[in-house]
Amino acid sequence: MKIFENIINHKINTITAEELVKYANQFNIKVNQQQARKIAEYLRGKNINIFDDTQRSKLVKEIARAAGPETAREVNKLLMQFTKQ
């Protein structure tokens, strides 16, 4: 399963705002374009492993600072969908 984790982490670390909005809509999660842009800018190049609880938690806290706590909760829901096995 490591290959799937690598693929998902690579996508997260290179995601664009448009892709983030598309995935959020697909999972009925509310993220607007401005919030998605801030989140995508933060993610780009960070090499975050969303399967690691500590790294994912830190990421959600950073998103809360950048885009607000409600958006962070919504993005966390999206990340949890990506990590379900």
Do 50 and 56 contact (CB within 8 A), yes or no?
yes
pLDDT at 69: 92
Q: Give the burial string for 58-72 (b: 16+ CB within 10 Å, else e).
A: ebbebbbeebeeebb
- Structure confidence by residue, pLDDT tens digits, 18-28: 998 998 888 88
CA proximity to 13, closest of 53, 48, 50: 48
Give the global pTM: 0.77
- Structure confidence by residue, pLDDT tens digits, 48-66: 999 999 999 999 998 898 7
